[in-house]
């Protein structure tokens, strides 16, 4: 048995022990719904470790994510549905099916051709599951920006798309105008609808620029945290905090932090 197989077998045994009648009280009462948020969280923590370039943290976070797969598989096995081996076989079969140019007789492809073939294969799989329609199968629980990206990628494949990024920018101006027109009425439902339209177009703009909107927004969040931290540090040097400063003073410190970052 390989080292990896041995470690995985022990992990599976630990999961069984945790869920046993005399196991961990917390683990015993969990179900798919209660564990799902942790699964999503661990995926984001993997992405965060990658973004930081922290390989030691990445190892730990990948372990946490693997444990989530083991957890769900164990609960499914307790229901008599499937087990971890079935999960592994499912993805193994899928990878072989989707890479006939590697595991079959088809000619080798470049990355672009492989992406197109991958989408054709996925469409066939959706049809086999009786999922009809261009947008079928895009997970509802994805982060909203990511789902907007995926939905419009699907639509773009059948020709429903803006011509270029400039056309999306024009639509963005249009949506901003519609939001501006609703400000006077201050109807929460109408404002939410217009803000949603604006965000949807921004996600499309990122797609047309070959950018991931979630990654862009995470970068903007990190930049805001960094610069606001500099604002607080500048005020702390004077023995003050944000509550003791005017907006103008904080904006001046913000501008200084921005200039310092840009060199």
Tokens of 16: 């069984």
Q: Please, where in the chain does CATH 1.10.287.1080 lie?
A: 3-98, 133-211
Of 3.30.300.20, 1.10.1040.10, 3.40.50.300, 1.10.287.1080, which CATH number belongs to 3-98? 1.10.287.1080
Confidence band for 129, pLDDT divided at 50, 70 and 90: confident
Spatial separation of the C-alpha atoms in residues 122 and 125, rounded to whole Å: 5
Spatial separation of the C-alpha atoms in residues 71 and 246, rounded to whole Å: 51
pLDDT at 209 over 80: yes
Spatial separation of the C-alpha atoms in residues 73 and 66, rounded to whole Å: 11
- Is-contact 32 75, C-beta < 8 A? yes
| CATH number listed for the domain at residues 133-211 | 1.10.287.1080
Residue showing tokens 């990511």: 146
pLDDT score at 220:
94
pLDDT score at 108:
63
Spacing of C-alpha 171 from chain mean position? 25
pLDDT score at 65:
97
pTM over 0.85: no
């Amino acid at each position: 048995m390989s080292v990896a197989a041995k470690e995985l077998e022990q992990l599976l045994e630990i999961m069984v022990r945790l869920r046993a009648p005399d196991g961990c009280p917390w683990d015993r009462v969990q179900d798919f719904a209660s564990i799902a948020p942790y699964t999503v969280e661990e995926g984001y923590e993997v992405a965060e470790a990658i973004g930081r370039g922290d390989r030691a943290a990445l190892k730990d976070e990948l372990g946490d994510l693997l444990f989530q797969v083991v957890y769900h598989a164990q609960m499914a096995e307790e229901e008599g549905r499937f087990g971890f081996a079935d999960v592994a076989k499912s993805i193994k079969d899928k990878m072989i099916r989707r890479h006939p140019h590697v595991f079959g007789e088809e000619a080798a492809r470049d990355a672009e051709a492989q992406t197109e073939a991958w989408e054709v294969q996925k469409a066939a799989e959706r049809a086999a599951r009786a999922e009809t329609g261009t947008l079928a199968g895009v997970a509802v629980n994805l982060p909203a920006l990511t789902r907007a990206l995926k939905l419009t990628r699907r639509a773009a494949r059948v020709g429903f798309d803006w011509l270029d990024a400039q056309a999306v920018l024009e639509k963005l101006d249009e949506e901003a105008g519609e939001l501006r027109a609703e400000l006077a009425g201050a109807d929460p439902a109408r404002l939410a609808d217009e803000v949603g339209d604006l965000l949807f177009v921004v996600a499309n703009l990122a797609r047309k620029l070959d950018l991931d909107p979630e990654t862009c927004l995470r970068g903007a969040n990190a930049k805001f945290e960094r610069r606001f931290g500099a604002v607080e540090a500048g005020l702390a040097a004077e023995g003050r905090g944000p509550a003791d400063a005017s907006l103008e003073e904080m904006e001046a410190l913000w501008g200084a932090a921005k200039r310092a970052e840009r060199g």
